[in-house]
A and B are shown apart, each in its own frame.
Chain A
Amino acid sequence: MSAQTAGPETLGHLSEEPPPVDPNSKQAKTITGKSPLRIAFGRLARDKIAVVCAAVVLFFVLVAVFAGAICSIFNVDTETVLATTRVDFLNNGLPLKGPPNHGFDPAHPFGVAPNTGNDNLAFWVYGCRTSLMIASIATLFASVLGVSLGLLAGFLGGPVDKIISFFTDFFLTVPFLLAALTIAPIVSQRFATSPHYARIQLIDLIVVLSVFGWMGIARLIRGEVLSLREREFIQAARVLGMPTRRILVKELLPNLVAPIVVSISLMLPAFVAAEAGLAFLGIGVTSGISWGQTINTASNFFEVYPLFLWEPLIGIVALVLALNLLGDAIRDALDPKTRR
């Protein structure tokens, strides 16, 4: 004899629905009128880790935005100086003043780089700007590309879906690092004589990062759209004769805010780390200022001048960690099914 798998009794226990409340009670009044995003924001604000991480991210954003102002407050700059004016050529090219062999030097709060005499604070601040600028622009492009392709593939289906899915899979099979290692020198060679070389290199990096970064979000959105498009409200919109564009933007997109926000918040730290990693490998930003490049130089001096390595390292670790934890917290807040 078979029993019912989910009887009314068991359903009651498994359900996530809150127990029914009297619509006129005080409790009911505070709940009503809150959008899902607002609820999520409330959850986020109560999450201590999320608040701390948001503060850290905000700090880095402020540093990046006001890089020039910060440098002028401390009276430092990124200009090349003749090395002998700041470093001691008799002593391994270590700085004449300040760490590691002397006390704190107020003229250069973070010290100066060995061999070249560049100011560490100015390079740190502008390195932060490079990192965040590249990561956020690449995230913007990658997510716009990914979301629109995902929406089209999922909603239109048929040959459009087939073609877009093919390209998604194709780009996923291309190894990112290998592609970046191949493309960067070609572009650098091509524009070697251009007066805008540094900017072209920056754009090249952003393009590479976004071209190889949109596939994840496109697949995610396509999957969500596939399940949403059979739902009643979409059917209703179609029956009403809404144009496809309007259905995509007004009906589907608002329902996809949660997955989009989550993947953006996790894409950002990935790009920060990728940018630093590429600079460390000697591709990416080689003509400008970048944390990854400073780390590459500093790793040779770790034993004699550890501070030089710690500064950009702490910058990257703190920023990536804060962005990642914040992203996790946002996902938890937006998705009621995951509870820690």
Chain B
Amino acid sequence: MRRNKPLAVLAGAALFALAACGGSSDNPTSGSTKTFDPSATDIAKDPKRAAPAADIDGATAGGTITVYLPGDPGPDSLDPTEGWSVTGNSIQQALTSRSLTQYARDPESGDMVLVPDLATDLGTPNGDFTEWTFTIRDDAKWQDGSTITPEEVAWGITRSMDSDTFPGGPGTEYSQTYFKDAGKYKGPYTDKGKTWDGVSVNGQDITIKMAKPFPDMDYWGAFMAMGPSPLGKASDPPDYGQNIQSNGPYKVESFRPNEELTLVKNDQWDPKSDPARHQYADRWVFKFNQDTAKVDQIMLSDNTDSQTALSTGIGSNNYQRANTELGDRLFQQSAQCTSFLSPDYTKIKDIRVRKALAYAYPYQDMWLATGEVPGVTRVPANSIMPPGMAGKKEFFADGEQFKFDPEKSKELLKEAGYAPGDYKISMIYYEADPLAVAGQKQLVKGFQEAGFTVVNGGYPVQDSPYNIWLNPDDPLNKKLNLRGVNWCSDWPSGLTMLPPLTKTGAAYNTAQFSEPAIDQKMSDIPSMPLADQAAAWGALDEEIETKYFPIIPTAFRNDLFVFGSKIGNGVGDGALGAPDYKDLYVSQ
């Protein structure tokens, strides 16, 4: 799932620059007690978890929780089929939109557990994982009081096949790869009138047929895209995205994209029908695109407004103060996220040049210039798979951890036949954000010392770099030979990291990497015995990075949240890398 926060105001840096950081942070803890925290290795599954969810110790009902999202534009549409961002999914999946399965936080260990949601268990696969059956519970209701039917869930799943209508949705990667007729059936809106027998309903049971083995269907079921949508015209895009029918504990009172989302209690939601969600607060107000400096001051002031508020980020300039003054209220959440530089595989063909780029990137300096907290929110990365992911191997693509080493870079360039300054790099940077501009200047300086020349010092762009990188017809995009991407896992499996980033033609494969042998392996691994898959992804990760080195991992990421003094149970959701909205309450 892509991390869109950095794209916004604060950190266009993010793409290159937040992406930047890293370097050799040997001892990041002088004066700070926090260090980088790798995420939990695996997500446990509890297919028997029953509703209602256990109460949180000391939780009280009532109050309004305000959530500030500094520099985060939030989702443009609330349509469950469209949601593929950390921000949107973490909010909606916890509060408004139910799906087949969901995550619950274990209050003891802090780990996330996969538990049933609308399904009564985590689904039953057939022997080779080509058919999954879920039994839909009969007591879940829409906000208008009508019961959620298996037909509506099947309709929601069918919608996810439509890549043309929902180009930014997760169905483009998973439904259109693993479900039956993937690539042939283009979804109910694009292929109007065609019937699709990928999902069939039998009483309360729905059965999903696969095109190839898909053992991770239970995790994929935790996406709101695998949830119900009202039948017929009521869920027609794009209107439905601005006016969704809620089925979680809260319903939408008002939604202004990129500004504010207000949720109020949904009185039709029954705690007895839901194994993990709570309905403690009366209202939720999400304020998008907030100014970091302003939010920092609000949260540090501890006034009556900020006591019941939380923020999903903090400026590095206030980190030390927050760390001493706020104590546990400054919460560090690990997430399975990696930032990358993507040299264009079709233009930068020599692996020595790609490795030289990895040595030319001034990790530490970029990180400082773009306002990250060294050793806490960013650490150096060695692989595509983030720490904590099952199967991740501790290998080094070039025998050692990449760090800024201009001499080494020049040496590699010389071997490849380029004199210092000969090799030209074309890239873009997000000019609207001063931090991104500062980061770009550091990058240009670092590249220059290491023997590269950045054409024009990078091309400035005024909107999200993803809009350029992901558009193959963009004339500027065609000029570039260095791009970037920030990626978080969709569930803890290499399946959600490697194929979306390195498969031929994948949307976020900004390096244009394409090797048939690797593609073949990526399509083979899901058919392997379940126990071997994690190790196979780890081995494939090592193979891709040591043999081809198509994308340069620059950093693994952590996030910082600030909780107001009256927010109870202020913790994070390790599966999504967001605050754990399901379990928050206002202490009275």
Contacts and interface: CB of A to CB of B under 8 A. Distances in A.
B320 A91 contact: yes
A90 B434 contact: no
Nearest to B366: A83
Contacts of A303: 318, 321
A88 to B, nearest CB: 9
A80 B460 contact: no
B396 interface: no
A81 B441 CA distance: 9
Given A82-B445, A116-B438, A299-B293, A188 B365 contact: no
A64 to B, nearest CB: 23
B425 to A, nearest CB: 14
Given A80-B444, A188-B460, A90 B374 contact: yes
Interface in A82-121: 82-84, 87, 89-93, 114-117
A189 B462 contact: yes
A91 B375 CA distance: 12
A130 to B, nearest CB: 15
A249 to B, nearest CB: 44
B165 interface: no
Nearest to B439: A116
A90 B30 contact: yes
Contacts of A81: 445
Contact of A286 (B366, B428, B437, B459): B437
B371 interface: yes
Contact of A80 (B317, B320, B367, B441): B441
B317 A89 contact: no
Nearest to B438: A116
Nearest to A300: B293
Interface string B319-331: 1110000000000
Given A188-B462, A300-B317, A193 B479 contact: yes
A18 interface: no
A83 B368 contact: yes
Interface string B285-296: 000000011000
Interface string A155-199: 000000000000000000000000000000100110011110100
Contacts of A301: 317
A121 to B, nearest CB: 18
B431 interface: yes
Contacts of B293: 299-300
B369 interface: yes
A297 interface: yes
Interface in B527-545: none
A224 B431 CA distance: 45
B319 A92 contact: yes
B444 A192 contact: no
A282 interface: yes
B507 interface: no
A304 interface: yes
Contacts of B459: 192-193
Nearest to B292: A300
A287 interface: yes
Given A188-B431, A192-B476, A80 B445 contact: yes
B28 interface: yes
Interface string B20-31: 000001001011
Contact of B365 (A82, A195, A296): A82
B319 A80 contact: no
B190 interface: no
Contacts of A197: 456, 460
A210 interface: no
Q: Is the interface of A mostly helix, strand, loop or mixed?
A: loop
A293 interface: yes
A193 B28 CA distance: 39
B442 interface: yes
Nearest to A304: B317
Contacts of B366: 83
Contacts of B30: 90-91
B362 interface: yes
A89 B364 contact: yes
A296 B28 CA distance: 28
B40 interface: no
Contacts of A92: 316-317, 319-320
Given A189-B461, A282-B432, A286-B431, A93 B368 contact: yes
Nearest to A201: B460
B315 interface: yes
A89 B456 contact: no
B156 interface: no
B28 A82 contact: no
Nearest to A90: B30
Interface in B421-454: 428, 431-434, 437-438, 441-442, 444-446, 449
Contacts of A115: 316-317, 368-371, 438
Interface in B25-79: 25, 28, 30-32
A196 B471 CA distance: 26
B427 to A, nearest CB: 12
A303 B441 CA distance: 26
A193 B461 CA distance: 10
A89 B438 contact: no
A89 B434 contact: no
B31 A90 contact: yes
Contacts of A91: 30-31, 320
Contacts of A304: 317, 321
A312 B479 CA distance: 38
Given A188-B431, A192-B461, A195-B456, 18 more contacts: A80-B442, A80-B445, A81-B445, A82-B404, A83-B365, A83-B368, A84-B368, A89-B364, A93-B368, A93-B371, A116-B441, A188-B460, A189-B461, A287-B460, A293-B434, A300-B317, A303-B321, A304-B321
Interface of A: 80-84, 87, 89-93, 114-117, 185, 188-189, 192-195, 197, 282, 286-287, 293, 296-297, 299-301, 303-304
16 contacts: A83-B369, A87-B368, A89-B368, A89-B374, A92-B316, A115-B438, A116-B369, A116-B438, A185-B462, A188-B460, A192-B428, A192-B476, A193-B479, A286-B437, A299-B293, A300-B292
Nearest 5 A-B pairs (CB), nearest first?
A83-B365, A83-B368, A80-B441, A185-B462, A82-B365
